[in-house]
Structure 1
Amino acid sequence: MQRILERFIVVEGLDGAGTTTQMKALAEAFDQAGVNCHATFEPTSSPLGNLVRSVLRKEVVTTPLALAMLFSADREDHLNHPITGIIERLENGTIVISDRYIFSSLAYQSVDCGYDKISALNEFPLPEFIVYIDTPVEACLQRIDSRDNGREMFERQEFLAKVKDNYEMIFSDLPSDVTLLRIDGQKSREEITSYIVGKLRERSLL
C-alpha cells in the first residue's frame, strides 16, 4: 500500500486541459483565504526538470525509457529534497498543489514503455486529492494550436487518445483514501475553479 500524503493536491489532465491555469487559480484561492500553500509543477525547474523539458521540446533526443527515468529522477528530487521538497513542506504544515505528478508519467510514458515498467519507476507516495480536468482530445489540441510555441512531442491526437484511456484505467483503481475530483474541462476556467474550491472547502482545506 502506497503512503498517502495529506494536504497534497495534484492537478492532472491532457496537454491543453488547463492544469497549469487551475493550479495557479487554486494557489490564489488558498492565499486569499490566508492558508499557507506552495504551488509547484512537474517537470520541475531543477536541472533534471529542465533536461526533461528539453526532450519534450525536441531539443534533445533520447529513448522513451530514458525519458521516463528522467521524469522519475526529477520526481524523486521534487519529493524528497531536504530543503525544498514536497514532503518537507507538507511536514511543516504547508498545503502543496502540484501541476502534474506520477499519474502523468503512468498515463504518458506507459504508451511507449508499458504500464508495469513505468509503475515500477514511480513507486512514490500518493496525494490525498487528485483534480482531473477531463477534456476531449480535440479540444486540447485546438487550444495547443492556438498558442505560438507549437506542439511538443506528445501532442498528437492518436497519442493523446491513448493517454486519456490510461488516465481512465489509473483512476478506476485508486485507493479509497485518495479523493478524485473529476471536472468537465470544457466548462469555463471560473466554473472549474469554483467547483474545485467548493469541494476542498467541504473537506475543510479552505
Structure 2
Amino acid sequence: MTTETGYFITLEGIEGAGKSTVLPYLAEQIHALGYQVERSREPGGGPLGEALRSIFLDPDLQLDVEEELLLLYAGRRNHLRQRILPTLAAGKVLLCDRFEDSTIAYQGGGRGFPLSRIVELSRWAEISRQPDLTFWLDLAPELAAERIRERRPDRLERESIDFFRRAQAAFAARAAEEPQRFYRVDASLPLPQVEMQLRQGLRDRIPAINGKDG
C-alpha cells in the first residue's frame, strides 16, 4: 500500500482490447472487496482533460506528437490534482482507463518520440503518483483491428497496424520492467475468461483489501 489509504488501479492496452467493456465489471469486483470505487479515464478525468478529450480524439484534426503530449500532460496534471489524489486521500479506489503507460506506448512506442523527453515532461508536470496496479489487456493488433472495424474510428483508432504493433511492444516492455505492478490479461479469450483473470489479479496483487469491512 501507499501512504494514502486508497488504491490507484489502471487498465491499459491498445485500441480494441476491451478496456471499456471490462471496466464496470472490475469496479464491481473492487466494490465487493469493501472499497468505494471511482471510475475515471484519460484523456479526461478532470475538468480540463474532459474538455481536451474531444480535441485530442477528433478524427478531422491533425496533431504532431509534441502537440499530443502537451494536451495529454495538461489534462493529466489537472486530473491528478482534482480527481486522483483527492479520491485516494478519501480512502477510495480510483480505477482509470489509461494513464502514463499509454503515453509511453503510443507517443513513445507508436510515434517513436524519445522516452527521455516524455519522462522529462512528466517530471515538469509533476506527475509524481503512479498506479499501484495495472491490468494490461494483451491483444494482437490484428485481432484488435477486427474488433474496431465496425465502429466509427476516432483519430487514434485510425492508426496503422504497424503503429499498434509498436505500441503493443512498448506495453510488453513496460510489463517486463515492472512485473510487480503489471498484471497481464489475455484479452483474446472470451469475456467470462477475461473477467476471471481480472478477478484473480485483484486477489493476487492487492490482498490487503481482501475481507476489508465496508
Q: TM-score per shorter chain, which class?
A: 0.7 to 0.9
**Structure 1 residues 171 and 198, CA, compared in 2 at 3 Å: closer, same or farther?**
closer
Contact 1:4 1:127 in 2 (8 A): no
1:21 matched to which residue of 2? 21
CA distance in 1, matches of 2:40, 2:49: 15
- Report SS of the residue matched to 1:104: helix
2: CA distance between counterparts of 1:120 and 1:140?
31
Cα deviation for residue 143 of structure 1 reads 0.6
Structure 1 residues without counterparts, runs of 5 or longer: none
* Partner of residue 183 from structure 2, selected from 181, 184, 188: 181
Taking structure 2 as the reference length, the TM-score comes to 0.83
Tell me whether 1:40 sits opposite 2:44 in the alignment: no
- Whichever residue aligns with residue 70 of structure 2, its letter is M
Q: Which residue of 2 is the match for residue 89 of structure 1?
A: 87
Q: Contact conserved, 1:37 with 1:94, CA < 8 A, in 2?
A: yes
Aligned residue for 1:172? 176
- Displacement of 1:55 in angstroms is 3.1
Distance in structure 1 (CA, Å) of the matches to 2:90 and 2:141: 39
Task: Tell me the amino acid that sits aligned with residue 89 of structure 2.
Answer: E
TM-score, structure 1 normalization: 0.86
Deviates more, 1:108-117 or 1:12-21: 108-117
> In the TM superposition, what are the counterparts of 1:71-86 in structure 2 within 5 Å?
71-81=72-82, 85-86=83-84
Aligned 8 A contact 2:139 2:186 in 1: yes
> Partners of 1:179 and 1:55 in 2: how far apart?
28
Root-mean-square deviation (CA), in Å? 2.2
- Residues matched between the structures, number: 198
Runs of 5+ unmatched residues, structure 2: none
Question: What do the CA deviations read for 1:158-184 (whole angstroms, capped 9, x no partner)?
Answer: 11111111112222222x7x4211011
130-139 or 106-115: bigger deviation: 106-115
Offset from partner CA, 1:18-50 (integer Å, 9 cap, x none): 111122211122334552111111111634343
CA distance in 2, matches of 1:152, 1:97: 24
Give the fraction of aligned pairs with identical amino acids, expressed as a percent.
Answer: 22
CA distance in 2, matches of 1:33, 1:128: 16
